[in-house]
A and B are shown apart, each in its own frame.
Chain A
Amino acid sequence: MTEIPEHLRKRAEEARQKAAAASGADKPADAAPSETTAPDAESGGSTEGRIPVHLLDRSKAVANQPAPDADPAPAGGGTPAPSSGPDGHNQRLLTVVKSGSIQDAKSVPQDKVHVWPHLLVAEFLAALAVTLFLLAFSIFVNAPLLDLANFNQTPNPSKAPWYFLGLQEMLTMFHPMVAGVTIPGIGLILLAMAPYIDKNPSKAPEDRKFAISLMTVHLMFWAVLVMIGSFFRGPGFNFIFPWTSGLFFEL
Chain B
Amino acid sequence: MVDSNGSKPTGQALAERVQGSQTWGSIFRPGSIFRKGYSDSPRNRSYVIMNSVLYHLHPVKVKRHAVKVSYTLCLGGLSFFLFIHLTVTGIFLMFFYRPTAAQAWNDILTLQTSVGFGLLVRNMHRWAAHLMVLSVFLHMARVFYHGAYKPPREFNWVVGVMLLQLTLLLSFTGYLLPWDQLALWAVTVGTNMMGFTPVFGPQVRFVLLGGVEIGTDTLLRWYVLHVLMLPFVTVIFMAIHFWRVRKDGGISGPL
Contact = CB atoms under 8 A, between A and B. Distances in A.
B255 A161 contact: no
Contact residues of A: prevailing secondary structure: helix
Contacts of B130: 162, 251
Interface size class of A (residues with CB under 8 A): 35 or more
Interface residues of B, number: 81
B58 A146 contact: no
Nearest to B105: A148
Given A134-B124, A182-B198, A112 B186 contact: no
Given A114-B45, A191-B161, A195-B151, A176 B196 contact: yes
Interface in B176-201: 178-186, 188-190, 192-194, 196-198, 201
A126 B196 contact: no
Contacts of A200: 150
Interface string B149-163: 111011001100110
A142 interface: yes
B108 interface: yes
A149 B196 contact: no
Contact of B181 (A115, A120, A149, A208): A149
Interface of B: 42, 45-46, 48-49, 54, 58-64, 66-67, 69, 74, 77-78, 81-82, 85, 101, 105, 108-109, 112, 119-120, 122-128, 130-131, 133, 141, 144-151, 153-154, 157-158, 161-162, 165, 168, 171-172, 175, 178-186, 188-190, 192-194, 196-198, 201, 252-253, 255
21 contacts: A112-B63, A114-B42, A116-B54, A119-B62, A126-B69, A126-B77, A127-B81, A137-B127, A142-B123, A145-B112, A158-B188, A160-B193, A163-B171, A176-B193, A180-B196, A181-B193, A181-B196, A195-B154, A195-B157, A201-B151, A205-B255
